[in-house]
Chain A
Amino acid sequence: MSKHAITVTVNGEQVTKEVDARTLLVHFLREDLSLTGTHIGCDTTSCGACTVHLNGTAVKSCTVFAVQADGAKVETVESLAKGAELHPLQEGFWEMHGLQCGYCTPGMLMAAKELLAHNPDPTEEEIRWGISGNLCRCTGYNKIVEAVQYAAAKMRESREEAAV
């Protein structure tokens, strides 16, 4: 099995590691970097529990090789909060009860983050489609939608305040 040295900027920190060619990005994050917030739910790109951002685009890290992230920026759920300050999405999920067992939550947060980056004021239907690559077995999605709406409103407000 060939080994490859890769350099990846993960959550703002540059790391260089040697990995097998076949090492999946999700295992690189979880095993090599101990970033266990990114979860594995299906191995087939169906459930979205492993969603992270690769150069700002949400990807399912169970079907990306670690070597594909060489030279890239990767952001995981651990990047969202700045110290004690939660990201508006994290706040929304907590306020609106957008999680139960918490297993799908990191992937949901990262999928929702990409949605709001492209569409700061999504309709309910747009939110539902935006998270349709992520399965949740606990919440029935109502409150996840509300959590994303909460975050969208809050992020719009802070942008407006910044513009004034």
Chain B
Amino acid sequence: MAAGAPPPPPHFAEAIEFYETAVEISPTVEYVVALGDVYAAAGREQDAEEQYELVDVIARLAEANGVDTDLEMALFKADHGRNLGDALAEARAVYARRPGVHTADVLAWTLYQSGEYDEASRMVQEALQLGTKDALILFHAGMIAHANSDYATALDLLQQAVDTNPHFSLLFAEMAQETLAQGRALTEGGTNG
């Protein structure tokens, strides 16, 4: 499936237009991050940066109104490599307060992005233990296994992630495919040699 025809060129202009309207009507973290990601994918770094800064503002307002956004914010920071120290502290705090699949997943991913692969591996096991078929969690687990040189597991998990939803993330879908291709080349090379 992945080896078929090249994907059609993404309609960035159209996507940007839709997300700009969405953000104008309802500037929630979800839409603002998505708009930033589309800007970034389209090469408009400056515009993307403005959206990411707006995310911080929205989070502050949410907090002032008594809404917890720390889980979403930790994931946002980990995904975009912004202030990883803060992200890790937040992810740990959220996980301590309400341990569960999603908080374990976010903590695992934040640990991975911070280079703490051992602990990341333990956390992601917890995120996977109920067998949740969530492409993003599977991708996180695959990348963590890859970082821990467990290539067979990594391939299996990444394949599951891509099979579940090949477009699971604007930021990481491509990374999943690349790591998968790389891993396949490695294992095939290994069996041949």
A and B bound?
no
Interface residues of B (CB under 8 A from A): none
Chain A residues in contact with chain B, CB under 8 A? none
